[in-house]
Amino acid sequence: MSNSRIALVSDDSDLAGSIQSHLKKSLGRRVFQCDFGSVRTHLSQETDGLLLLAAASSAEAESIFQLVREIYIRKLPPVIMIVAGEKVGPMDELQQYVAQYLHWPLDADRLTQVIRQRIGRVRGFAGTDSQESLEQVISRQLLSQTPSLMPLVERLALAAAHEVTVLLTGETGTGKTFLARLIHDCSARREEPFVTVPCGAQPANLIESAFFGHAKGAFTGADRAKIGKFEAAGNGTILLDEIDTLGMEQQAALLRVIETGEFEPVGSNDTRHCTARIIVASNWDLEEAVSAGKFRQDLYYRLNVMSFHLPPLRERIQDIAPLARALVARFNTKFRKELFDISPLAMDALESFPWPGNLRQMENFIQQAVLVSSGSELLLEHLPQQVREYRPARVLIPARVNGDSLTRNREQVERNIIQRTLVVNGYSRVNTANALGISRVTLYKKMKKYGLLRNSNGMENS
């Protein structure tokens, strides 16, 4: 029990102290404690743990309702709701959305009993277990948001633990900023600034000023000195997004910073030193850009110490549900809606849509859906027309007997299962075959039959 993580959330210090004292006496341990204002900074991106929400007055009702909706939608840790006597009657409406609904101090012994029953089924809550490895911390962050990236855990832990330049590639909106932030948050620099520079949004004649700052009078409009992003990042991390948009002159200046740590503000001879950790992101394959003469080869080699490729959302089917739930929870609070769930039909439509705009498109569509929603469940009718009416292209699979629809349906189902299992296992044939309980030879034949063999661009792992 000492390794289990339980969180007590309450704004009332007397109530929290009373519960803490009881749990210390009955369970032999204290539990992690925070208030409703800070709980989201501790809430883990996972599906396990145990949350004790304690309310002492009806004034806390709104904040508690919002938190329970978010937890319920995202399928986060089970909730035990504890109310002090009869003071918080409105909370009774939450009974159907929490694991247990208890009155304090009347149900004190029942609270102990419930925790003992559940303690073996829960593993954790962020911030309460100092014995976690870096891999475990990263795994918790990925499990309920981007489970398809789980095969990257060990390499992400290495990137976080060592001062190396990291290159992230993938289409626009695939989550490169999220991954960069995760590396920063799991590194020794986590308490320092995390600064993002959208290189593609900077005019070519001002990019060096954005990077390195400028002296007063350096150019028209420079009426005062300004520090750049490299200096603002201090000992933290700087993310250079869309680095493929930089011109050759800016690439040369960036190469110098990476190699020597030195730079000068525009219009100044004062040499300064960059102490930040550098992560870069690109929407395009930089190796191809090098071959095309659009990107410096020496800079590419400097950047590509550790690299991670993020596939588009259409190839990460298992990520759609957790991402959708997280977005619904966020906009549910923003628009003060009362959603507690996403209907199966709506989720099926979200998982079937190809998301050409990746996460940014999903964010926009779900924001629209939540805004027009009513009731406690996000329905298919709330989703934008594009999602509701999307029909995937039919995959022509030859039937063994002409007109045998049963065979065609069975093969379509088999193809979908194999495709999803491949995605979950990072296209590793060994792991996929093991998960499906078939041999690698059988898997290969079925992949060939259903057109699932990958091309030779490095996407397949065998």
* CA distance linking residue 170 with residue 244, whole number of Å: 12
**What is the CATH code for 134-309?**
3.40.50.300
The 10s digit of each residue's pLDDT in 115-172 is 888 765 444 444 444 456 888 788 877 876 788 888 889 999 999 999 999 999 999 9
Q: In whole angstroms, what separates CA 91 from the centre of its chain?
A: 31
Q: What is residue 262's three-state secondary structure?
A: strand
* Domain 396-462 -> CATH class: mainly alpha
| Angle, CA 71 vertex, CA 66 and CA 75 arms, to 5° | 150
The 10s digit of each residue's pLDDT in 367-423 is 999 999 998 899 999 999 999 988 765 444 444 444 455 555 567 677 778 877 777
Q: What is residue 78's three-state secondary structure?
A: coil
Count of C-beta atoms within a 10 Å radius of residue 327 = 22
* CA distance linking residue 126 with residue 140, whole number of Å: 8
pLDDT at residue 457 tops 70: no
Q: What is the pLDDT of residue 400?
A: 46
Q: What is residue 6's three-state secondary structure?
A: strand
Q: What is the pLDDT of residue 458?
A: 36
Q: What is the pLDDT of residue 93?
A: 78
Q: What is the pLDDT of residue 43?
A: 67
* Domain 315-388 -> CATH class: mainly alpha
The 10s digit of each residue's pLDDT in 83-105 is 886 655 667 778 888 888 999 99
The answer to whether the Cα torsion of 22, 28, 34, 40 is positive or negative is negative
The answer to whether the Cα torsion of 271, 277, 281, 287 is positive or negative is positive
Q: What is the pLDDT of residue 123?
A: 44
Domain 6-121 matches domain 134-309 at the CATH topology level: yes
Give the mean pLDDT of 436-452. Answer: 82
Give the mean pLDDT of 425-436. Answer: 78
DSSP 170-220: -STTSSHHHHHHHHHHTSTTTTS-EEEEEGGGS-TTTHHHHHHEE-TTSST
Residue extents of the structural domains in the chain:
6-121, 134-309, 315-388, 396-462
pTM: 0.72
The matching CATH number, chosen from 3.40.47.10, 3.30.70.1350, 3.40.50.2300, 3.40.190.80, for 6-121 is 3.40.50.2300
The 10s digit of each residue's pLDDT in 233-291 is 999 999 999 999 999 999 999 999 999 999 999 999 999 999 999 999 999 889 999 99
